[in-house]
């Protein structure tokens, strides 16, 4: 004999019920009990209707009409006209009875748990009737048996307990004597010893089916639902979740206890002792293998088998010096909760016995608080116990697996994964069986926590990085293009999944929860909302994605002033904007500190030498114990370009213009020409070498006449260069006469830094520096005579974008 249970979605409408019929027909010849739920959503509707009626809100009538409409419509779609009237009249008569009950509740303005059980049973009573009539009309020979005649409970309405002995006797009597191969049974419903309607709890049709399976010693219990089995996490929240082919009873029980709704938690108990396998199958993909739940331990030796969560949790803590060493406090605490029928989802107790903390459902919080305050009234008044504290709107997230106990380090991995993503942990518990580790977190962090834990424990391989890109000009657009081109390589080779979730320029900003299509981000951005850097931050925080990275491709001061806010929200920052790192030392230091504190990298490799690995090399030298003695460098790609191209056949104006057009200068070219850009770079290198330095302390031998620097627009600036052409020519001639080349050199030694134009003779390392290249010489304790030299293209959108890209990849490997 087989038990098949079809859940709410599987029987939600005529179309789905026809799929169920196909599944039954495939089992033709097998003796079966088929348990059905109410049509999807009807139980909720019944409960809200009763609630409205009991509050004397006439809107309950509209709800009742909806319930009626759902059933009548399904009948009309399932049956030919000639069969409809008999079925419609029976259903209408049941609905009339329901209406009378609701009217009663409306008139007295009250609802009792007893009435609740009666009303909510209508969902299954109606569905089982309609479905069985339909199957009959399709030629399936069957009997409809009322679940109330089989499953017997006590009289605790709303929370009844099954009397297994009586129930099993009833079931055996029925199933051994019935001549029918197929019996349809409404799930969820039961009755008390004296025949009053009771129910088995929300999701209880699974339980009905398990009880029948145990009673009849069925060969299998099949739970047919809307997903293809039990997944590594709720597939509706974690896209990467995978179906688990085989799982043990205990694992399934833990997962469902912690919220894997696919199986109602009490379901496993009755079948576990009789070792009846449960198979979870998908009504909408019946050929999928599904999940088999048996006694066998999972064979593959996997440690974590699934992650689940329960929302709407309140933490209730009992705390105080008077609890230490006094026996019986916990007993009274739990007895009080039990008396109030508050079920405890999780318990933690500090080993000092100073506090007990339990996780309960939000809906029980108020009554639990009142009851505990009352029970410990005396201790609270005499300050032995503190006022009870509660914290609501939390969630429990749990890792589950039979083999977890034999593995160290899982909780460390769990908590560091959550910590890295700024998920604050309010409480922790580990089941005595060591089959679960659970943590209480904020409700709004659930999706992020599930996904990031899933990534850590099940996708070891692929890490998702969520990028928010500010600035899509020269550098930004090249950066987006590089991501587009490299996306599949990164996924396959580096196991990184880069998604651009948000972009902004100075006019508009746009977001896409699943990643902006990089083939036409321009259109996407054009259609976005008005740009606002504060709201950009807000949106990133609200999305609350794991591994979020803010990428700053601007040269903007306001944007740079927001880095601290990002880092404090555990959002990493990658920037080519030099303003933050060259601002006051205290700000630079603070950002570095926040990055450490919040585990959110702050990377700015492109601040010096564009894509050249200068800062990274410097970091490695220092980390390995080396010390910087001197730095000498040509750090301005734009100035190098200018002085390499400027001679007596060109004009200074034209060469600077060309540098700007080719993307080698800052948006404001005076930043380069004045030497400020070089000052910033040497300042950052000095700081990264461990020196506390301010920009004002750097000596700058500027070569531009002050008038050029005091201009108010790029246009004015370029005009001023024409005026001073003869000065520039003189600089060139003086150097040329000595067979020297002009280079703008930065130097840092003995704690001081200077920058300025120098005449470089033949044979010097800087002499033959081409185009817009940079060169840097690190003299260190280890590289004392021959410096370590890094040389290469030091400006340009392409190399800068690739430097930013490299920083993002560094974070991926972090
Ligand atoms: P039914 O109405 O068939 O009883 P439920 O809605 O009660 O179906 O249970 C199925 C749902 O359980 C799925 O749609 C899914 O959203 C949810 N669920 C939660 N956790 C898991 C999990 N680990 N694996 C599969 N489904 C899960
Ligand atoms: N109809 C009930 C509910 O929605 C029982 C079930 O579907 O399992 O809770
Ligand atoms: Mg269910």
CA–CA gap between residue 709 and residue 143 (Å, rounded): 95
Residue 632 CA, ligand 1 centroid: distance in Å: 64
Indicate the Cα dihedral angle 219, 225, 228, 232, nearest 10°.
-100
Count of CB atoms situated within 10 Å of the CB of 522: 13
Locate the ligand 2 atom nearest the alpha carbon of residue 188 and give its number. 5
Residue stretches of the chain with pLDDT short of 50: none
Residue 127 CB–ligand 2 contact under 6 Å: no
For residue 630, count other CB atoms closer than 10 A to its CB: 14
Q: What is the pLDDT of residues 247-275, one digit of tens each?
A: 999 999 999 998 999 999 999 999 998 99
Residue 230 alpha carbon to ligand 1 centre in Å: 8
Quote the ligand 1 centre to 713 CA distance (angstroms).
63
With 0-12 / 13-18 / 19 or more C-beta atoms within 10 angstroms meaning exposed / middle / buried, residue 378 is exposed
225 lines ligand 1 (CB under 6 A): yes
Q: Does ligand 1 have an atom closer than 6 angstroms to the CB of 7? A: yes
C-alpha span between 333 and 174 (Å, rounded): 44
Query: CA 212, CA 274: separation in Å to the nearest integer?
Result: 12
User: In testing the pocket of ligand 2, which one of 10, 11, 36, 37 has its CB within 8 Å of the most ligand atoms?
Assistant: 37
Q: Distance from the CA of 227 to the center of ligand 1, in angstroms?
A: 7
CA distances from residue 745 to 126, 152, 386, 637 in whole angstroms, order as listed = 87, 91, 67, 11
Cβ 235 under 6 angstroms from ligand 1: yes
C-alpha–C-alpha distance, residues 211 and 108, integer Å: 37
First to last CA, the chain: 55
- What is the model's pLDDT at position 460? 66
Cα–Cα separations (whole angstroms), residue 336 to 329, 332, 553, 776:
11, 6, 59, 73
Closest ligand to C-alpha of residue 305 is 1
Q: How far is the CA of 37 from the centre of ligand 2 (A)?
A: 6
- Ligand nearest, relative to CA of residue 123: 2
Cβ-based burial of 351 (10 A; exposed 0-12, middle 13-18, buried ≥19): exposed
Q: How remote is the C-alpha of 523 from its chain's centroid?
A: 28
**Is 37 a pocket residue for ligand 2 (Cβ < 6 Å)?**
yes
Residue 147 in contact with ligand 2 by CB distance below 6 A: no
260: nearest Cα among 399, 459, 441, 411: 399
Ligand 1 in reach of 227 Cβ (< 6 A) = yes
Which residues are marked as active site?
A: 681
Give the position of tokens 């047919």. 224
Q: Per residue in 562-620, pLDDT tens?
A: 999 999 999 999 999 999 999 999 999 999 999 999 989 999 999 999 999 999 999 99
- If one residue of 11, 13, 225 were mutated to test the ligand 1 pocket, choosing by the most ligand atoms within 8 A of its CB, it would be 225
Atom in ligand 1 nearest the alpha carbon of residue 205: 4
Give pLDDT, residue 405. 78
């Amino acid at each position: 004999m087989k038990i098949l249970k079809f859940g709410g979605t599987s029987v939600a409408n005529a179309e789905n019920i026809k799929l169920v019929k196909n599944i039954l027909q495939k089992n033709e010849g097998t003796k079966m009990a088929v348990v059905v739920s109410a049509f999807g959503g009807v139980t909720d509707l019944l409960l809200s209707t009763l609630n409205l009626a009991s509050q004397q809100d006439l809107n309950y009538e509209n709800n009742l009409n909806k319930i009626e409409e759902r059933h009548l419509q399904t009948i009309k779609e399932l049956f030919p006209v000639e069969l409809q009237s008999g079925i419609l009249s029976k259903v209408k008569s049941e609905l009339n009875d329901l209406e009378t009950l609701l009217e009663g509740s409306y008139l007295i303005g009250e609802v009792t748990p007893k009435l609740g059980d009666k009303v909510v049973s209508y969902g299954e009573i109606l569905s089982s009737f309609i479905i069985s009539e339909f199957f009959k009309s399709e030629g399936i020979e069957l009997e409809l048996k009322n679940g109330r005649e089989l499953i017997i409970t006590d009289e605790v309405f709303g929370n009844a307990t099954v009397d297994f002995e009586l129930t099993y006797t009833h079931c055996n009597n029925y199933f051994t004597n019935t001549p029918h191969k197929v019996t349809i049974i409404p799930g969820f419903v039961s009755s008390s010893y004296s025949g009053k309607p009771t129910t088995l709890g929300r999701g209880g049709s699974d339980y009905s089916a398990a009880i029948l399976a145990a009673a009849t010693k069925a060969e299998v219990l099949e739970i047919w639902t809307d997903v293809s089995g039990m997944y590594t996490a709720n597939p509706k929240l974690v896209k990467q979740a995978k179906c688990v082919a085989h799982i043990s009873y205990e694992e399934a029980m833990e997962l469902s206890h912690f919220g894997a709704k696919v199986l109602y938690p009490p379901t496993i108990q009755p079948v576990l002792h009789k070792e009846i396998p449960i198979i979870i199958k998908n009504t909408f993909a019946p050929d999928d293998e599904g999940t088999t739940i048996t006694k066998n331990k999972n064979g593959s030796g996997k440690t974590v088998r699934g992650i689940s969560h329960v929302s709407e949790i309140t933490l209730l803590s009992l705390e105080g010096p008077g609890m230490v060493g006094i026996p019986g406090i916990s007993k009274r605490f739990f007895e009080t909760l039990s008396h109030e029928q508050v079920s405890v989802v999780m318990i933690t107790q500090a080993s000092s016995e100073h506090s007990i903390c339990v996780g309960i459902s939000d809906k029980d919080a108020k009554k639990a608080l009142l009851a505990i305050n009352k029970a410990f009234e005396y201790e609270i008044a005499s300050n032995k116990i503190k006022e009870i504290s509660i914290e609501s709107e939390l969630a429990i997230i749990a890792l589950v697996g039979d083999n977890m106990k034999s593995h160290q380090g899982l909780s460390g991995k769990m908590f560091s994964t959550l910590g890295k993503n700024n998920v604050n942990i309010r409480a922790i518990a580990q089941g005595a069986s060591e089959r679960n580790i659970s943590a209480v977190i904020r409700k709004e962090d659930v999706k992020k926590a599930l996904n990031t834990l899933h990534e850590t424990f099940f996708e070891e391989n692929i890490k998702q990085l969520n990028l928010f890109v500010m600035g899509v000009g020269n550098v930004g657009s090249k950066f987006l293009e590089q991501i587009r081109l490299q996306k599949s390589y990164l996924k396959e080779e580096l196991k990184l999944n880069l998604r651009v979730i948000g972009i902004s320029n100075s006019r508009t900003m746009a977001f896409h929860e699943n990643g902006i299509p990089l083939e036409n981000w321009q259109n996407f951005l054009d259609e976005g909302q008005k740009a606002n850097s504060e709201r950009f931050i807000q949106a990133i925080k609200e999305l609350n994605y794991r591994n979020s990275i803010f990428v700053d491709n601007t040269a903007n001061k306001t944007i740079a002033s927001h880095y601290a806010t990002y880092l404090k929200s555990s959002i990493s920052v990658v920037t080519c904007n030099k303003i933050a790192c060259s601002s006051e030392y205290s700000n630079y230091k603070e950002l570095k500190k926040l990055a450490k504190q919040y585990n959110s990298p702050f990377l700015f490799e492109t601040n010096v030498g564009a894509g050249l690995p200068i800062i990274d090399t410097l970091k490695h030298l220092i980390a390995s114990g080396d010390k910087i003695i001197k730095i000498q460098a040509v750090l301005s790609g734009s100035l190098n370009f200018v002085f390499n191209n400027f001679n007596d056949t060109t004009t200074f104006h034209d060469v600077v213009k060309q540098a700007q057009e080719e993307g080698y200068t800052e948006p404001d070219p005076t930043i380069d020409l004045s030497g400020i850009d070089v000052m910033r770079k040497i300042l950052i290198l000095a700081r990264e070498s461990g020196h506390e330095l301010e920009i004002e302390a750097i000596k700058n031998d500027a070569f531009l006449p002050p008038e050029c620097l005091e201009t108010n627009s790029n246009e004015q600036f370029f005009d001023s260069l024409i005026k001073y052409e003869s000065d520039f020519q003189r600089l060139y001639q003086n150097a040329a006469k000595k067979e020297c080349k002009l280079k703008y050199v930065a130097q840092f030694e003995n704690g001081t830094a200077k920058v300025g134009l120098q005449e470089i003779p033949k044979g010097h390392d800087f002499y033959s520096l081409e185009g817009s290249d940079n060169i840097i010489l690190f003299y260190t304790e280890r590289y004392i005579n021959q410096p370590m030299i890094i040389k290469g293209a030091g400006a340009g959108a392409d190399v800068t974008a690739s430097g930013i890209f490299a920083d993002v990849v560094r974070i991926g490997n972090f």
